[in-house]
Structure 1
Amino acid sequence: MKISKLLQDKRYLFWALQFAGWTAWGVSFYLGVLFWGKVPNDYLAYLPIVSSIGMILTLPLRALYRYMWEMSALRRLIAVVIASYVAGCVWMASRGWIFYNMFPERRNPKHEDYEGIERILAYFDGATTASWVILVWSGLYFGIKYYMLLQEERQRGLKALSMAHEAQLKMLRYQLNPHFLFNTLNAISTLILDKDTQLANTMVTRLSRFLRYSLDNDPMQKVTVDEEVEALRLYLDIEKVRFDERLKLKFDIDDNAKTALMPSLLLQPLVENAIKYAIAQAVNGGTIAIEAKTFGNDLLLAVIDDGPGLDSLHNTESRSGSGVGLANSRERLQELYGVEQSFRLSHTDPHGLTINIRIPLERADKKG
């Protein structure tokens, strides 16, 4: 198991910090003794013992602090100070007993002559120092505890934001235009009434393949431009049955762009928009061109038609972005890329509408 995963386990993290903290105290105490005087021969055995006792004494403190976690701040502060001092007194008594039994030659003759209040004051002077160590441990315990709670709260917030982000993308992704389904089913019905069952069956098959593709692909995942174009061809094969020669198509996909990644079914609503305004309303139909190329660190996509474009007052409001198709694509790009994308409408020369999209260039070999 990796260290990062182990550190996510609170029990493992607590004991890891315990061992690290008390080891650090033992090393620093040893260096202090070494600096101020000669170190007894068995001192390296003494320090692990008293460090272990100090660590054991903090376990009841941990249980106490967890029990009083919901108390008011003032009550907790008072309890922490008292508990730390009591633990420090017990720890100092243990340290003194162990030290003078392991190193009897280190007994201070002056201490043997202490009587009454002097002996008590000498003991509590050391106990106060030990209590400061326990109080520091208590402060670190609460600090780390609060930090972990804040991190958990932050993770929950990020997870909630991610789930909302994913839900938003899925909602945008699955907004299939009901007009497309209505028109397709109506065309199939007409073919059946005309007894052209073979073409009707072909159209049903194409519709099934397109819907399966649209539902099977996770909107949070990206597909290559090549895969997106193939899905677009599935959709356009259906529309070709409706419009026949009135719908002319041009694909200009650079080889460098074929393996670039993009959101799945991003172009379909744009092409559907072009069919609705540039093809369906024109007696002679029209042409739709789909382009994809790379430029530096960007992937450039374009959907171009030769319909009335933005010059038509009747279509200006619908085609300038308030329609579901254009708004859907614009919002998806904003959700996925933020300021690193652009979605721009412009005139097609001599007439028509051009939709230019710029997104960061990503390659298929980095998708996994």
Structure 2
Amino acid sequence: MSHAAVQEKPTPVPPPENKGSLAGRSLPRWAPAGFAAAAIVIGVAVGAGAGLDSKIQWGLIAAVAFVVISYTVTTTVENKRQAKDRLATSVVWVCFVLAMVPLVSLLWTTISRGVKVLDVYFLTHSMAGVPSFEKGGGVYHAIIGTLEQVGIATVIAVPLGLLTAVYLVEYGKGALAKAVTFFVDVMTGIPSIVAGLFILSIMLMAQLQPAGYLGSLALTILMLPVVVRSTEEMLKLVPNELREAALALGVPKWRVILKVVLPTAIGGITTGVMLAVARIAGETAPIILLVFGNQLINSNPFEGAQSSLPFYIYEQYKVGSDASYDRAWAAALVLIIFVMLLNLVARGIARWKAPKTGR
């Protein structure tokens, strides 16, 4: 038998690795946490070694190190495409952390200094008979003033803003709609002191006495454009198919707006209203000009001077004593809690009134 050459199949050669493909080695899920830990160590080591006293500088060094480590390690282990994605993600995380630092610092400072005098007595008593430079007194009169002034402004601004937004989205055409849009944009940038001066001029011409409702009118001017703009954007997000389907059934347009458009956008509208309320809840300048402040409890916003939480904070901080500083921080904490409760209520209403969706 002749010796026949046996041809063996050649061993397959693996294709060269494509640096731009998505397949290949990948970092574990805990890699970003490891990068962050390594960056913190580097930031502390470099900051301490260089004699930097500011912890902000340490944090900035750690942020830069986190981005560099993420990109370098991802390029080495995975590929350049994944490294670019990791770089963008790292920058987003760094920006988020940098944005959260002042917020967390503000909350921590307010809570740590506000809890010193925040108790039931502080919430249920006014400053009647208590010298501002001594301990004691409370914020009850300021809470009443804030609730009444913000409440009156909300009652006025929300219907006007809602109807204006409905007109602009559903009916507005031509020069009138453009003029309304222009003035709403202008009002959005009006400083609070200007709104206060406008109402103050009316008060002086009409020879009116300082009262809570005058401050509410100035707050209404500040609140109205926020309500209009937020409601307008929410109404624009409602699909036109819903309107067309309802109109095709012969439903009048006003009923379509009332029963279809507004319920669909109620979640966003409520959120916008709460943002507007939070916008005016901390205004101080109009209250100083128009309400004048009051150490006593005044439950009538239409007669006599009133106080409010922002004015109370300004008033106590101006005194300059340790006791007044504590009361100012406690009132600031009460104001933050007030705004947070408003947002929780808004979320609850939005969830309750949101249109039900089936499976």
Q: Which TM-score band (shorter chain)? A: under 0.3
Q: Which has the larger radius of gyration?
A: 1
| TM-score, normalization by structure 2 | 0.23
User: Which structure has the highest strand share of the two?
Assistant: 1
| TM-score, normalization by structure 1 | 0.23
